[in-house]
Structure 1
Amino acid sequence: MIKENTTLAARIEAWHQPQRLPTLKGIRRGIERESLRITPTGQLTTSPHPNSLGSALTHGYITTDFSESQMEFITPVSDSVEVLLAQLGDIHGYVLRHLGEEQLWPLSMPCLLKGGDEQIPLAQYGRSNMGKMKTLYRQGLHHRYGSRMQVISGVHFNFSMPDSFWSEWHSSEGQGAFLQDFVSDKYLGLIRNVYRFGWLIPYLFGASPALCGSFLQGVEHNLPFERLGKGTLYLPYATSLRLSDLGYTNNAQANLNISLDSLDKYVASLRNAIGTHAPEFAKIGVKVEGEYRQLNANVLQIENELYAPIRPKRTAESGEKPTDALHSRGIEYIELRSVDVNPYSPVGIDAAQVRFLDTFLLWCLLSPSPALSANEIALNRRNFNKVVLEGRNPELMLEQVNGESLTLATLGEQYFAELKTVADLLDACCGKGCYAKSHQQHLAMIQNPELTLSAKILSELKSAQQDILPFGLALSKQYHDQLQQSRPHYWEDSFFDIEGTRSKLRQQKMEQSDLVDFDTFLADYFAKS
């Protein structure tokens, strides 16, 4: 463990030095945005992923997530906020020009689900063993948790600092550690701090205070929902129902105890969960009457089943497990998964949000981050759950490790005072005032909860006495027309035409190169260390 004894203020002062400031340039970001395909009346589209878009298995930018109906748009890594959002916009525009009358649902919580789980088609990836495995993994999720939870959509924000930054920091604080070990250790510190302070993200970016009542048909819950319109349910102070126990922060994994103390312990605890038999999942069966129902009967089928608001990541090679990639080459970047789809942006996120995330994640990286005790983990979880369900309640109190409790506004202003120093640092390096502007915009939301995304959505619904369905449909139609007609900013349509053709050829090559049957492939995959 690398010694942690430098304050945030000291680090900020050190990075302001003229010879060090340029090393902050080139923050790398990527976005993965999920969205459901819908009909013009708001029904979930159940048709296959459009063939004209290429192979969902091998396309670099356009794929599916859990369902054939759930699209996922992936940008490449970029060190420019403007380029990042231009690329995301071009992907959206190209897709919408190939969807005909179909639209993209602009909210995190799903649209009208009249048929429940059975209406939601699992994503299909072709005849290759890897493609079959991806579909079977989703079959397992369907049996374990239900399909409705899986089609909740979000925005995943991938973040890493440039090599120049790491070289400079390592030279001053590395204390003899190998560079990659130092990088991995600091990224784990960032992750621990996101667990400490991460309630800020659903408070500021939560955009799911209400949902269509069809989502809860047959679902047991004890939340005191209020009703709006014909079938909309909401909580008056909720920020992100997506991140509640109704969503992907599944209670079934509450006792996993994945360690964040070191990379070795993280990998070992994750591997242990993947290798530990789960009696409740064994009841489902793995292969019943010749048909697979899930990959295995363990606590986690594979690494991706871990429902965490943030994950350490390393780009894996073909056929390589994520834990093996992390273990052998260390942490390359982090994936923040707690951002709701912003319904007021055509692409689900805007530039001010991206710059706040830069500021927030760099703050978490530069701030001291001791190991998390079991008590602190439980406290952080309680605070997070309070914010997603009642974050805009002016009387909400959040617990501190010293035993005190403070109002969200008081605590938020304390954090924002520190965040301001990071925003100023980024502006001094490369922001030209953009980071200070984003900081001020989000500080205003701390001071006035009515400025948050969740409050704006509820205010619109209540003032019009409107259901969530027509609200979402109006935005969906607006963005459909706007993006369909938009001119490319970074990529011409021909770029995606070529990628679509190449993706089909890559899938075909994978299917032709399989040398063993699926049973043998699965056994070999899980036998590898």
Structure 2
Amino acid sequence: MNNATHIPSSGGTFGLERETLRVTSDGRMAHTPHPFPEDAHIVKDFCENQAEINTGVHAAAQGAVDELLEQSKRLCAAIRGRGERLWLYSNPPMIKNADDIPVAVFHGEQKSKYDYRLYLAEKYGKYIMTLSGIHVNYSLPEELLRAQFASSGATDYSEYKNAAYLRLAQGMTEYGFLLNLLLSASPICDGSYFDPARSGETVVTDYASLRCGKDGYWNDFTPILCYDSVQAYAQSIQKYLDEDVLAGVSELYYPIRLKPRGANRLELLTQYGVNHIELRNIDVNPFSESGVDVRDLEFIELLCLWVYHTYADALSEENQRRAVGNFKTAALLDIDSATVLTPQGERLTVREAGNRVLDTMRTYYGEDQRATALLQYQQDKLKPPGRRYAERVIKDFTEKYDDVMK
């Protein structure tokens, strides 16, 4: 069956967030003030020398990438006179000690942001907070949703749309390990991240993505979420807040999140419904000037649309735990020894599992040339040896990890 009609010409909408560190010309953590204190597009993240670059919402992946590059260049121009650059990677440069990671300071009405960061530093430690990545915010095509609603027999569009996103979130939790497998790009790190005595030593870790692996950016428990309704989804998160397991909804370190329009608040989610899905497990790509390759974003859209049209299972607690385990396993560098578990209980190597999903998607999209090209780009990464971003990073950057190239 040719499903080219399932690939809208306009597509969904994209918004990007890129976390990045400001470093000196010799690749050390910068200690100057954040250059854009009043700019919504370039804000402080966890620490003063970590910026978050935010784009607006774009009707195509290319527009989001173009703006991300534009905002990145604006930040680079502002710090160039200080002798600073943006760090290329998701993993940090050499860290002298914890004082190299000054918690971002906020005053007045925003003081709670400072207090929250102090809490995170105490709970998780400062070092892990320097791990940076790309967050992809994606909205399904409104035209597609409305057309399918019209033929569904449903009577409430808001409920139909929320149900679509709840199904999408479950499917992307099931198949999101593919993003770790294909987009991970942070296998190397300065030794100081692990031990001050190893400062200046470039370490090749066991991970294609340190931040997505089992020792990376995760809560110290596995959240179990309810997808029966938006209200149930919000309540399953609120439970962790009420139990003081999480200090705020932003502390839910989960690779797939459903978000409302505007601020990330549960009351907005339940009142106005889901606006987009947030995918948080994408590494900064040092081979792309913007930090993300547009072909990867367009593949993410293909994956989301395939999941939207085909995923029909309910993600049980057991399957949520299994899926989280698959995420962590797929972040490993060795994808031929590590195995993931399918919903049917079958053990596959990570490479085998990735190829199986990509083959299924190719069958689904049929002869559509755009989909074929995008899927081929991803499948080529799985052809040994050494074609994934992580493997290319080891080859190209291990000898010059501390070089600053932007």
| Aligned counterpart for 1:341 among listed residues 284, 293, 298 | 284
Q: Does 1:193 align with 2:206?
A: no
Q: Deviations over 1:310-345 (max 9, x none)?
A: 11011236xxx6100100011010110000000111
Question: 1:323, 1:358 → 2: CA distance?
Answer: 25
Q: Tell me what 2:252 maps to.
A: 306
Select the structure of larger CA radius of gyration: 1
Q: Tell me what 1:471 maps to.
A: 401
- Alignment check: 8 A CA contact 2:137 2:279 kept: yes
Q: Deviations over 1:176-227 (max 9, x none)?
A: 25111111111111111122111111111101112111111389xxxxxxx9
Q: Tell me what 1:407 maps to.
A: 349
Question: 1:366, 1:445 → 2: CA distance?
Answer: 25
- Alignment check: 8 A CA contact 1:241 1:247 kept: yes
Distance apart, 1:102 and its partner CA: 0.4
Q: Tell me what 1:366 maps to.
A: 309
Q: Tell me what 1:244 maps to.
A: 213
Distance apart, 1:136 and its partner CA: 1.2
Q: Tell me what 1:519 maps to.
A: none
Aligned-residue identity in percent? 27
Q: Does 1:162 align with 2:144?
A: no
User: After the TM superposition, which residues 250-261 of structure 1 pair with which residues of structure 2 at under 5 Å, given as runs?
Assistant: 250=219, 252-254=220-222, 256-261=223-228
Q: Tell me what 1:322 maps to.
A: 265
Q: Does 1:417 align with 2:363?
A: no
- Alignment check: 8 A CA contact 1:261 1:372 kept: no
Question: 2:112, 2:200 → 1: CA distance?
Answer: 41
Question: 1:213, 1:141 → 2: CA distance?
Answer: 23
Q: Deviations over 1:386-423 (max 9, x none)?
A: 22124x33243322232322233333222112322565
Q: Does 1:43 align with 2:41?
A: no
Distance apart, 1:459 and its partner CA: 2.3
Q: Deviations over 1:340-373 (max 9, x none)?
A: 0001112110111111111112122222232112
Q: Tell me what 1:3 maps to.
A: none
Q: Tell me what 1:438 maps to.
A: 374
Structure 2 letter corresponding to 1:36: L
Q: Does 1:267 align with 2:237?
A: no
Question: 2:402, 2:274 → 1: CA distance?
Answer: 38
Distance apart, 1:156 and its partner CA: 0.4
Distance apart, 1:64 and its partner CA: 1.3
Q: Does 1:25 align with 2:10?
A: yes
Structure 2 letter corresponding to 1:212: D
With structure 2 as the length reference, what TM-score do the two structures score?
A: 0.92
Q: Tell me what 1:502 maps to.
A: none
Structure number with the higher helix fraction is 1
Q: Tell me what 2:56 maps to.
A: 76
Distance apart, 1:383 and its partner CA: 2.1
Q: Does 1:98 align with 2:81?
A: no
Structure 1 letter corresponding to 2:104: A
Q: Deviations over 1:141-165 (max 9, x none)?
A: 1111111111210000010123211
Structure 2 letter corresponding to 1:113: I
Q: Deviations over 1:53-92 (max 9, x none)?
A: 341xxx2311111111111111110013332222111111
- Alignment check: 8 A CA contact 1:24 1:162 kept: no
Q: Tell me what 1:286 maps to.
A: none
Question: 1:264, 1:102 → 2: CA distance?
Answer: 46
Q: Deviations over 1:93-125 (max 9, x none)?
A: 111111021011110011111113x32112223
Distance apart, 1:381 and its partner CA: 2.3
Q: Does 1:448 align with 2:384?
A: yes
Q: Tell me what 1:211 maps to.
A: 189
When residues 119 and 407 of structure 1 are mapped into structure 2, their CA distance, relative to the original with a 3 A threshold, is closer
Question: 1:369, 1:133 → 2: CA distance?
Answer: 41
Structure 2 letter corresponding to 1:381: V
- Alignment check: 8 A CA contact 1:46 1:69 kept: yes
Q: Does 1:109 align with 2:91?
A: yes
With structure 1 as the length reference, what TM-score do the two structures score?
A: 0.72
Q: What is the DSSP-based 3-state SS (H/G/I as helix, E as strand, rest coil) of the residue aligned with 2:280?
A: strand
When residues 218 and 183 of structure 1 are mapped into structure 2, their CA distance, relative to the original with a 3 A threshold, is farther
Please list every run of 5 or more consecutive structure 2 residues that lacks an aligned counterpart in the other structure.
none
Please list every run of 5 or more consecutive structure 1 residues that lacks an aligned counterpart in the other structure.
1-8, 220-226, 277-297, 428-432, 480-529
| Aligned counterpart for 2:396 among listed residues 460, 466, 475 | 460
When residues 417 and 22 of structure 1 are mapped into structure 2, their CA distance, relative to the original with a 3 A threshold, is closer
When residues 197 and 23 of structure 1 are mapped into structure 2, their CA distance, relative to the original with a 3 A threshold, is closer
Distance apart, 1:248 and its partner CA: 0.9
Structure 2 letter corresponding to 1:316: G
Deviates more, 1:93-102 or 1:369-378: 369-378
Q: What is the DSSP-based 3-state SS (H/G/I as helix, E as strand, rest coil) of the residue aligned with 2:19?
A: strand
Question: 2:185, 2:356 → 1: CA distance?
Answer: 24
Question: 1:423, 1:83 → 2: CA distance?
Answer: 24
Q: What is the DSSP-based 3-state SS (H/G/I as helix, E as strand, rest coil) of the residue aligned with 1:447?
A: coil
Q: Does 1:179 align with 2:179?
A: no
Question: 2:265, 2:365 → 1: CA distance?
Answer: 33
Structure 2 letter corresponding to 1:107: Y
Q: What is the DSSP-based 3-state SS (H/G/I as helix, E as strand, rest coil) of the residue aligned with 2:332?
A: helix
When residues 424 and 64 of structure 1 are mapped into structure 2, their CA distance, relative to the original with a 3 A threshold, is farther
Structure 1 letter corresponding to 2:85: Q
Q: What is the DSSP-based 3-state SS (H/G/I as helix, E as strand, rest coil) of the residue aligned with 2:78?
A: coil
User: After the TM superposition, which residues 479-518 of structure 1 pair with which residues of structure 2 at under 5 Å, given as runs?
Assistant: 479=406
Structure 2 letter corresponding to 1:409: R
Question: 1:447, 1:61 → 2: CA distance?
Answer: 38
- Alignment check: 8 A CA contact 1:106 1:472 kept: no
| Aligned counterpart for 2:204 among listed residues 203, 218, 234 | 234
Distance apart, 1:41 and its partner CA: 1.4
Q: Tell me what 1:503 maps to.
A: none
Q: What is the DSSP-based 3-state SS (H/G/I as helix, E as strand, rest coil) of the residue aligned with 1:112?
A: coil
- Alignment check: 8 A CA contact 1:24 1:164 kept: no
When residues 261 and 383 of structure 1 are mapped into structure 2, their CA distance, relative to the original with a 3 A threshold, is same
Q: What is the DSSP-based 3-state SS (H/G/I as helix, E as strand, rest coil) of the residue aligned with 1:300?
A: coil
Question: 1:84, 1:266 → 2: CA distance?
Answer: 29
Q: Deviations over 1:1-36 (max 9, x none)?
A: xxxxxxxx6xx74x72xxxx6965241001101100
